Amino acid sequence: MLKYALKRLATSLLTIFLVVTLTFFLMQMVPGGPFLGENVNPKITERLLQQYGYDQPVIIQYWRYIKAMFHGDLGTSLVVKSGYSVMDVIWGAFPTSGKLGFIALGVALILGIPLGVFAAMKHGTVFDRVFIFLSSLFVSIPSFIMTILLMLVFASWLKWLPVAYLENWKSYILPISGMAVYPMFHLGRLTRTTMLDVVSQDYIVTARAKGLATPSIMFKHALRNAIIPVVTSLGPTIAGIMTGSFVVEKVFAIDGMGKYFVNSISSRDYPLIMGTTIFYGILLILCNYVVDLLYGVIDPRIKM
């Protein structure tokens, strides 16, 4: 186990290094400096470039960036929150985004997996068919469209829930639903498929023959094996929820990471784009690492 954990940690660190390097050199390829503008005195531009170290050779800039990164410094935002350090922007915004994403993931898991199990238990019935239909439908709606549709129906037309901002518990419902619907049905479908595979195996027949109650068989015996592929798909699911949050925060005007990320792209705030990408990248890779360890814990047959 320890050997496996260390080996996976090494690959995770390698991936993080790769993402940081890729991001840095890709952003270097963008033509035009950050201080280009009309009627700017070339001397001022030169001074600014010098101040931020942009006059140095790329490789030295890279070295400095990496070194600063280890000290928790990702540079300074140029446009979106001009003058603020990227790290301050991230720490200011991440708690909100993290909370939303965490709740959305929780909702998706708590509702999605049981739905999948019930659909598999009631295989071929109306419930199963309706579930299949709904899940096909909902995994075809991109989360940004889902968010907007929810906002239109429940906030704009029915006026049941607030249109924007996070103020009270009611205002959390729409953003979280927008992020959770897609992963919920995706995980539900996956659970249903793997459950159907598992319940045809001999040990389930044995459990039935012993006279165990169906819910006990399903949740205690079958789900243990059926959950493994679901756990492996958690990494992409977390990435999907994160991508969803970019749009959800934009639509509901929530001061989170996603909003800054999208705004930094549209205003070409390069240090902020780079900083948020690296932050998200490291976060996702670490999440994948934890998921992989979890996978090893749940399924002891995995070669460690």
Partner 1 sequence: MQYNPDLLKQYGVSEQELELASASEKEGIDQMRPSVTYWKDAFARFRRNKLAIVMFFLLLAIVLLAIFGPIVSPYTYKQQSKDLRQGPSLKHLLGTDNLGRDMFTRLMYGTRISLLVGVVTMVLVCLIGITYGGIAAYVGGLADNLMMRFVDLMMTIPSMLIIIILSVVLRDPMESLFNNPRFSGLATIGSGLISIFLVLALFNWLGMARAVRASLLMNRSQEYVLASEAMGAKSKWVLTKHLLPNSIGVIIISATGVVPGAIMTESFLSFIGLGVSAPMPSLGSMANTALNGIVSYPQYMLYPALLISMIILCFNILGDALRDALDPKMRK
Binding site for partner 1 (CB under 8 A): 11-12, 14-15, 18-19, 22-23, 26-27, 29-32, 136-137, 139-142, 144-145, 148-149, 151-152, 156, 163, 239, 242-243, 246-247, 250-251, 262, 265-266, 268, 273, 277, 280-281, 284-285, 288
Cβ 59 to partner 1 shortest distance, Å? 19
Cβ 92 to partner 1 shortest distance, Å? 20
CA distance 238 to 240: 5
Q: How many Cβ atoms from other residues are within 10 Å of residue 25's Cβ?
A: 12
> In terms of CB distance, is 142 or 215 closer to partner 1?
142
> In terms of CB distance, is 111 or 265 closer to partner 1?
265
Q: Do residues 258 and 97 lie in contact, with contact meaning Cβ atoms separated by under 8 Å?
A: yes
Residues 6+ apart with CB under 8 A from 235: 284, 287, 288, 291
How many residues in total does the chain contain? 304
Handedness of CA 274, 59, 21, 8 (dihedral sign): negative
Six-digit token string for 155 = 């906030």
Alpha helices in the chain (DSSP H): 2-28, 42-52, 58-70, 86-121, 126-138, 143-150, 169-199, 202-209, 214-216, 223-232, 234-251, 257-266, 270-298
> In terms of CB distance, is 45 or 232 closer to partner 1?
232
Cβ 274 to partner 1 shortest distance, Å? 8
Cβ 75 to partner 1 shortest distance, Å? 15
Cβ 31 to partner 1 shortest distance, Å? 5
> In terms of CB distance, is 81 or 189 closer to partner 1?
189
> In terms of CB distance, is 206 or 266 closer to partner 1?
266
Residue 78: which of 260, 277, 279 has the closest Cα?
Answer: 260
> In terms of CB distance, is 73 or 197 closer to partner 1?
197
Cβ 60 to partner 1 shortest distance, Å? 21
Q: Do residues 83 and 162 lie in contact, with contact meaning Cβ atoms separated by under 8 Å?
A: no
> In terms of CB distance, is 14 or 58 closer to partner 1?
14
Handedness of CA 170, 171, 173, 176 (dihedral sign): negative
Cβ 216 to partner 1 shortest distance, Å? 30
Q: Do residues 235 and 291 lie in contact, with contact meaning Cβ atoms separated by under 8 Å?
A: yes
